[in-house]
Amino acid sequence: MSDKQCDNLIDYFNGQLSEQEEAQFENHLASCESCREELAELRELTESLPYLSEPVEPDSGMKNRVLSSVFEEEEKEEGYDNVIPIEEKKEKEKPALSRTRKRNWAVWGLAAALAASLVGNAAFLNQWPGTSTTQPEEEVVIDNLRQDLTLQNPEGGEAKGQASMVANDGESQLVVQAEQLAPLSGNEAYQVWLLEEGDPVRAGTFVTNEQGSGAVTYPMDELKDGNWDTLAITKEPGPDSETPQGEIVLAAEI
């Protein structure tokens, strides 16, 4: 009781001690029963206090921002660079999307750049950290984003996905995300293809997380202006297939 350390209890509880003082106090706790009891009592007596907080509305889209960055952190730790986790549920207030189909992907990028505020939604961009490196204070960049294709399995099934075009500073990127895909084993990977009259060109590779979700961004500059008619995703034996070897798991007409 006479120990000077006992006087630090309040400051300890309120995080007011320096790291060193805190360590010292924790040492003290180990040997001082009365401090342990007082601390336990404080915790018990304060248990209901958070309910005194007046309910406050978070800024809209917080859930999406928080969960995206939490899951993103996870993927980083696992060391997948170009695999971005997809949230199971999209935000409820999804912006009204333009359902207009463009003839080909070359004009798509341009149209997207012009289609200001079609999908002007920062939260949406946040789901693809790979595309948000320009982390705009300038909201303009966010506006140059367009969600367009819904991917499905031609044979039916749970798997689904979306393909979008993002234009950042004149650079167009194809963003593909998919979920509920079958698990991969060994070296297997999912491969995105753009097809023109049956001729495939590679447009990104990704692997899925435990939930069967995955995503990839691919610079459109590397794709010559083709008259793409189909986007398809196949499951490949390895990440390097030059032509599709596996079955199409998701596809959409462009």
For binding to another protein (CB under 8 A), which residues are involved? 7-11, 14-16, 38, 41-59, 62-63, 65-67, 69-71, 73-74, 77, 85, 88-89, 210-211
Which of another protein, Zn ion, none is residue 38 near (CB under 5 to 8 Å by kind)?
Answer: another protein
- What count of other Cβ atoms lies within 10 Å of the Cβ of residue 9? 19
Give the phi and the psi of residue 104 in degrees, each rounded to 5: -145, 170
Is 149 a binder of Zn ion (CB under 5 A)? no
Considering the complex, what minimum distance in angstroms separates the CB of residue 208 from another protein? 13
Nearer to another protein, 7 or 81 (CB): 7
| Least Cβ distance, residue 32 to another protein (angstroms) | 14
Q: Is residue 145 at the binding interface for Zn ion, with CB under 5 A as the rule?
A: no
Q: What is d(CA 112, CA 140) in angstroms, rounded to the nearest whole number?
A: 12
Nearer to Zn ion by Cβ, of 5 and 82: the residue is 5
Tokens of 64: 């999406």
Residue 192 in the binding site for Zn ion (CB under 5 A):
no
102 binding partner (options Zn ion, another protein, none; Cβ < 5 to 8 Å by kind)? none
- Output 74 or 199, the one with its CB closest to another protein: 74
Q: Is the distance from CB of 208 to CB of 192 less than 8 angstroms?
A: no
Residue 254 interacting with Zn ion (CB under 5 A): no
- If one asks whether residue 182 binds Zn ion (CB under 5 A), the answer comes out as no
Q: How far is the CB of 24 from Zn ion (least distance, A)?
A: 11
First to last CA, the chain: 77
Residue 207 C-beta: closest distance to another protein, Å: 16
Closest CB 71 distance from another protein, rounded Å: 6
Helix (H, G, I), strand (E, B) or coil at 25: helix
DSSP secondary structure string for all residues of 16-38: -S-HHHHHHHHHHHHH-HHHHHH
**Residue 12 engages Zn ion in binding (rule: CB under 5 A):** no
Tokens 């798997």 belong to 159
32 is in the binding site of which of another protein, Zn ion, none (Cβ under 5 to 8 A by kind)? Zn ion
Please identify which residue in the block is written with the tokens 């915790």: 43
Spatial strand order of the sheet with 230-236 comes to 199-206, 189-196, 230-236, 248-253, 145-152, 160-168, 171-179, 214-219
What residues between 15 and 74 interact with Zn ion by CB under 5 A?
32, 35
Half-sphere exposure of 223 (CA within 13 A, CB side): 29
Phi and psi torsions of 241, nearest 5°: -55, 130
Binding site for Zn ion (CB under 5 A): 6, 32, 35
